[in-house]
Structure 1
């Protein structure tokens, strides 16, 4: 970027254990073993207060992960293609994923990634420790979000949602895409035990984080911890849309 031409400033906001808004302008490259020709930034993590780890990965031409991502017996992983085109592989299966493509790998299954775009491909990457349930086990899931139909969110015609993973009890989390038409909003300010890691795919809005309204836009990352009040208004001329994770299908632990 070169030398600064103005006072240093940032839109990012961090409240450890509660919430975070991380603007793309402040991201730095983290060297992650196994990722070649990749610019990788760690977003949400246990150091922030999250129970998972989120990454934004820009795979440059020839970028790949030959060693595999995840694979531990209690770690599940997920990748979502923001832009570009990759090959994602798991359990001797290969998937060509373009924009909106995704792959979920259950515990014990390594995920292999390779950029096949002439330029760069950008990925939203995730890992979490799986909470097992007797008699249940998840499986490899892949698809493209753009091929899944939206449904109304909480019976509102101007807010829509889609599930990227099955809602079966075999899965202890899900990824969703939530989209607000211009001027749409949540039906109420949510307060719940679940936590989220969200990447904004399009639009602009105002987001309530712990009862503080902050402006957000495409390219931002938001972490929302358990019981943090949260809601959004869409502003501007295009939909406010984001992909996000949510823990589900399990009881609270003592």
Structure 2
């Protein structure tokens, strides 16, 4: 990047345990074992207050992870292709995922990844400790592409739409969704709930209510929303605002903190 051309500044906002807006301009590379020829930025993590870990990774030409990601008996993982083409393999199968493609690997399943583009590919990566539910079967591997999933109206509003990327089954303790807003659209109300989110903006611009503060957001921003933090969004500008995000679900609240 070289010498700065102006006063140093940042749009990022960190409210430990509550919420965070992390702008792409401030991301740094993390040396994570297994990732080769990749620019790995760790976003949400327990150090921020999240119960999961999110990454945004640029895989350069020849970029890969042959060591494997996940695979522990209590860790589930998810990968979403923001741009490019990536081969994702397990010990049993391999999948070629293009933009909008995704894969969920259940606990005990390790994923390996390789960039198939001559240029860069970008992926959004996630891991979390799985919470089993007595009497319910274990989750299973799921793969697909968001471009093949119909958008459904959100709370009866055609200007705001949602896509579920994983099955709505009690075997899964979380889901990934994509929310899309037409310009000028917004949530029906300011939400306050026990669930937390890690969200990556795929397109557009907006203003996001986080803990009753209205904050400008745009493509390539990352947002962490902690439990009970007020949250809602208005889309602004001339193109649709869209983001992919995780949500814990299908489990009762714990008595312990």
Task: List aligned pairs for 1:10-25, cutoff 5 A.
Answer: 10-25=10-25
Task: List aligned pairs for 1:106-121, cutoff 5 A.
Answer: 106-121=106-121
TM-score relative to the length of structure 1:
0.99
The one-character-per-residue Cα deviations of 1:52-107 (angstroms, maximum 9, x if unpaired) are 00000000000000011000000000000000001011241111000000010000
Q: What is the aligned partner in structure 1 of residue 170 from structure 2? A: 169
Structure-2 separation of matches of 1:54 and 1:217: 18
Where 2:25 maps in the other structure, the secondary structure is: helix
Q: What is the aligned partner in structure 2 of residue 182 from structure 1? A: 183
Q: What is the aligned partner in structure 1 of residue 8 from structure 2? A: 8
Task: List aligned pairs for 1:36-185, cutoff 5 A.
Answer: 36-135=36-135, 136-185=137-186
Aligned residues: 254
Structure-1 separation of matches of 2:111 and 2:100: 17
Task: List aligned pairs for 1:186-205, cutoff 5 A.
Answer: 186-205=187-206
17-26 or 133-142, which deviates more: 133-142
Gaps of 5+ in 2: none
Over 3 Å off, 4+ runs: none
Contact 1:57-1:123 at 8 Å conserved across structures = yes
Where 1:166 maps in the other structure, the secondary structure is: coil
Structure-1 separation of matches of 2:104 and 2:153: 24
Structure-1 separation of matches of 2:250 and 2:160: 24
The one-character-per-residue Cα deviations of 1:97-131 (angstroms, maximum 9, x if unpaired) are 00000010000000110001010100000000000
Structure-1 separation of matches of 2:57 and 2:118: 16
TM-score relative to the length of structure 2:
0.98
Gaps of 5+ in 1: none
Structure-1 separation of matches of 2:19 and 2:158: 29
Question: What's the CA shift for 1:134?
Answer: 1.6
Structure-1 separation of matches of 2:9 and 2:147: 36
Where 2:17 maps in the other structure, the secondary structure is: coil
Question: What's the CA shift for 1:244?
Answer: 0.1
